[in-house]
Homo-oligomer: A and B are copies of this chain.
Amino acid sequence: MKDMRIRLIASAALLLASHAMAQPQHELNLMPMPTSVQPGFGRLAVDQSFSVATTGFKDAMLERGIHRFVAELSRQTGMSLKRKLADSPSPTLLIHAVHGSERVQRLSEDESYELVISESGAKLTAPSPLGILHGLQTFLQLVETTANGFSVPVVTIEDRPRFAWRGLLVDVGRHFIPVDVLKRNLDGMAAVKMNVLHWHLYDNEGFRVESKRFPRLQEAGSDGLYYTQDEIREFVAYAHDRGIRIVPEFEMPGHSRSLFAGYPELASGPGPYKIEPGGADAVMDPTQEKAYKFIDKLFEEMAKLFPDNYFHIGGDEVNGSQWAANPKIQTFIHSHGMKTNQDLQAYFNQRLQKILSKHHKIMMGWDEVLHPDLPRTVVVQSWRGQESLATAARQGYSSLLSFGYYLDLMWPASRHYTVDPMSGAAASLNPQEKSHVIGGEACMWAEWVTPENIDSRIWPRSAAIAERLWSSPEVQDLGSMYTRLDKLSRRLEWLGLTHRSSMVPAFYRMAGTNDIAALCTLAEVVEPVKDYTRMNSLKTVWDFRGPLNRLVDIVRPESDQARRLRDVVQTYIASGYKDKVAEGEIRTRLAAWRDNDARLHPLLEQSFLLSELAPLSEDLSTLGAAGLLALDYLDKSTPSPRSWRVQQRALVERAKTPKADLLLMVVEPVQQLIEGSGGQTQEP
């Protein structure tokens, strides 16, 4: 894409030629980066006289969207702005939508927009309100505080999404997340132009939807925490207003123990079933006609509640042991000419697909649903890798990627960012096959998630995934991404998201005292262990009812402070250990860590939630001291003794071991300093 401009630095020559109002254009704080950004000169003031008018199509949804925009701009600037649309032919922002958007938002709708800002006013044009909503978010991101007031830069932006499906899955089965928490996350999604909330509505541990037809689903299948149908309707409308589709997931035949708590007759095994841990593993019995009657009635009810065209039936990780243990099921398999449990699941999925089709829904499932017997209308969501995504696309199935976007694995934003739906196995698809890849979804699986920490698990990392799915694949610069992500992360606080603020009360809970500075210092440089390490290290059966109040539950998945140390150590090394500013910053940090254990230790003894942190805190102080010594050697330009380095390596290795399910994220740069202090000699 030739006109793609990632870094919008106007040349000094152009600047000199411009008039007094003009200011140098630094990189704009846009995320996701738009398709095309043409910077200009000068700025448009955003002050108390700010007004919005519309031409062209107008409906209640668009008006509500504009009202929200004005309210957000008010909050962001601390100015009380006119809510009513202006009659003026020259408002600050003129909005023109060509036609309305669909009553039920469709995958294929045009979400593009054009935003043209001059010094005298801005114009936002889009085929439909969907594009207008995106353009308004872009406008909000452009507002900056300057010496002369709030303003937006003169710029011309043309923008459209790369993928039509830009989703976030939220698992509310393992831990219930109240509607108000989900709503603020919808606001966050809208801010980064995501357009699908995939609502994983239940799992073994809890059924979260009120069914009037089968009330024992929520009564026996939950701990009393579920969404009423009124709440769901209001939530779906809330999402629709923000250009977000709600795709419900009714997972079957596996991951569905909570179904059987109230309706054990649907299961393949004898039960009894309960949502509490230790209950029998459970898979639905696909050989009984009564199962399809149940599903038909349930889906009929739910198809009305969830108006979206797509309906997710899960279908992943089916445990074959219950089927294998049930002679009736085995007989069914053989008498119907099937060979494997996979064939039985395909049969089940075919039946589901017919039921859903009757209720005018398109079926979706995880990659395991892929089977030649299924019609090509089915959408496949790949969690196992780009391989299965490519396989599905090659066979003509619409497919989307979630592999690489699992937020619960606690990866840094940079790692998610580099995963592209079209990379890996998908890179070899032909254009026709590629057109079947419709997008991706960040996944917030909720084993370790509560209403308190969910925001910090989703944000700001999801914004990096949102950019991957919206922007050109050429948008790759990690430095730029992190700079913009940080700005965005701060802006998301205006939406009520607690990803930054929630740690503080949790620290006070842990400490039971007011002096949390030393705890913060430690917390800032650790991250939760990655992948499934925490789950795998459990010594008992995982219990979703267990407390989630340890430091690992509170700290952010990614340490900004550790990233900063890595960067400044790189700068220092690249300067041949000469950059005194970098060294000064490194020393300040290392000294604070060296001294931290002495400050934190008294707290550790007072709180059962802190005591497990003792070895971690010691490691941090040891690393701080070792790093400072390494700097001393580097300053003196005398290589550190080999024996010293060998000793330090042992400390480094110890510090690399996870403790309290946490990783100390500053080991590597300190290690680099230690090794660097040895001079040019290469050692094994």
Give chain A's interface residues, CB within 8 Å of chain B.
Answer: 48, 75-80, 82-84, 144-149, 175, 223-225, 450-452, 486-487, 490, 493-494, 500-501, 504-506, 508-512, 514, 544-549, 553, 605-609, 611
Residues of B within 8 A of A607 (CB): 145-147
| The one of B80, B547, B606 that contacts A545, using a Cβ cutoff of 8 Å | B80
Residue of B nearest to A451 (CB): B75
Residues of B within 8 A of A487 (CB): 514
Within the complex, what minimum Cβ distance (angstroms) separates A323 from chain B?
32
C-alpha spacing A268/B497, complex, angstroms: 49
Residues of B within 8 A of A79 (CB): 547, 549
Given the interface pairs A145-B509, A606-B147, the reply to whether A77 lies near B549 with Cβ below 8 Å is: yes
Q: How many copies does the complex hold?
A: 2
C-alpha spacing A548/B79, complex, angstroms: 6
Which of A80, A224, A544, A608 is the most central at the interface, judged by chain B CB atoms within 10 Å of its CB? A80
C-alpha spacing A553/B77, complex, angstroms: 12
Residue of B nearest to A510 (CB): B145
| The one of B80, B146, B501 that contacts A512, using a Cβ cutoff of 8 Å | B146
Which of A78, A149, A175, A548 is the most central at the interface, judged by chain B CB atoms within 10 Å of its CB? A78
Contact yes or no, B48 A546, CB < 8 A: yes
C-alpha spacing A79/B79, complex, angstroms: 40
Residues of B within 8 A of A148 (CB): 608
Residues of B within 8 A of A505 (CB): 490, 493-494
Contact yes or no, A490 B508, CB < 8 A: yes
C-alpha spacing A490/B508, complex, angstroms: 8
Residues of B within 8 A of A82 (CB): 223
C-alpha spacing A307/B560, complex, angstroms: 52
C-alpha spacing A147/B48, complex, angstroms: 54
Residues of B within 8 A of A80 (CB): 175, 450, 544-548
| The one of B146, B175, B493 that contacts A504, using a Cβ cutoff of 8 Å | B493
Residue of B nearest to A225 (CB): B83
Contact yes or no, B486 A514, CB < 8 A: yes
Residues of B within 8 A of A77 (CB): 509, 547, 549
C-alpha spacing A547/B79, complex, angstroms: 4
Q: Name 30 interchain pairs, CB-CB below 8 A, sorted by A.
A: A48-B545, A48-B546, A75-B451, A76-B509, A77-B547, A78-B450, A78-B452, A78-B548, A79-B547, A79-B549, A80-B175, A80-B450, A80-B547, A82-B223, A83-B223, A83-B224, A144-B512, A145-B509, A145-B511, A145-B606, A146-B606, A147-B606, A147-B608, A149-B608, A486-B514, A487-B514, A490-B505, A493-B504, A494-B505, A501-B504
Contact yes or no, A48 B493, CB < 8 A: no
Contact yes or no, B78 A608, CB < 8 A: no
Residue of B nearest to A148 (CB): B608
Residues of B within 8 A of A48 (CB): 545-547
Within the complex, what minimum Cβ distance (angstroms) separates A73 from chain B?
12
Contact yes or no, B224 A84, CB < 8 A: yes
Within the complex, what minimum Cβ distance (angstroms) separates A584 from chain B?
15
Within the complex, what minimum Cβ distance (angstroms) separates A22 from chain B?
17
Contact yes or no, B547 A146, CB < 8 A: no
Within the complex, what minimum Cβ distance (angstroms) separates A402 from chain B?
27
C-alpha spacing A223/B83, complex, angstroms: 8
Residue of B nearest to A512 (CB): B145
Within the complex, what minimum Cβ distance (angstroms) separates A568 from chain B?
15
C-alpha spacing A180/B505, complex, angstroms: 21
Contact yes or no, B452 A75, CB < 8 A: yes
Residues of B within 8 A of A225 (CB): 83
Within the complex, what minimum Cβ distance (angstroms) separates A490 from chain B?
5
Closest 7 CB pairs of A and B: A78-B549, A145-B512, A501-B501, A79-B547, A493-B505, A80-B545, A490-B508
Which of A48, A224, A510, A609 is the most central at the interface, judged by chain B CB atoms within 10 Å of its CB? A609
C-alpha spacing A605/B148, complex, angstroms: 10
C-alpha spacing A494/B223, complex, angstroms: 22
C-alpha spacing A553/B80, complex, angstroms: 13
Residue of B nearest to A494 (CB): B505
Within the complex, what minimum Cβ distance (angstroms) separates A650 from chain B?
31
Given the interface pairs A547-B48, A547-B80, the reply to whether A611 lies near B147 with Cβ below 8 Å is: yes
Within the complex, what minimum Cβ distance (angstroms) separates A387 from chain B?
38
Residues of B within 8 A of A548 (CB): 78, 80
Given A80-B450, A490-B505, 17 extra CB contacts under 8 A: A48-B545, A78-B506, A78-B509, A79-B549, A80-B544, A80-B546, A82-B223, A83-B224, A144-B512, A145-B512, A146-B606, A147-B611, A149-B608, A486-B514, A493-B504, A500-B504, A501-B501
Which of A77, A224, A490 is the most central at the interface, judged by chain B CB atoms within 10 Å of its CB? A490
Residue of B nearest to A545 (CB): B80
Residues of B within 8 A of A146 (CB): 512, 606-608
Within the complex, what minimum Cβ distance (angstroms) separates A613 from chain B?
13
Contact yes or no, A609 B547, CB < 8 A: no
Residue of B nearest to A507 (CB): B490
C-alpha spacing A450/B452, complex, angstroms: 25
Residues of B within 8 A of A553 (CB): 78
Residues of B within 8 A of A145 (CB): 509-512, 606-609
Residues of B within 8 A of A510 (CB): 145
C-alpha spacing A490/B78, complex, angstroms: 25
C-alpha spacing A514/B484, complex, angstroms: 11
C-alpha spacing A107/B681, complex, angstroms: 84
C-alpha spacing A506/B490, complex, angstroms: 10
Within the complex, what minimum Cβ distance (angstroms) separates A603 from chain B?
10
C-alpha spacing A175/B80, complex, angstroms: 9
Within the complex, what minimum Cβ distance (angstroms) separates A354 from chain B?
39
C-alpha spacing A281/B149, complex, angstroms: 33
C-alpha spacing A547/B493, complex, angstroms: 20
C-alpha spacing A615/B512, complex, angstroms: 39
Within the complex, what minimum Cβ distance (angstroms) separates A679 from chain B?
36
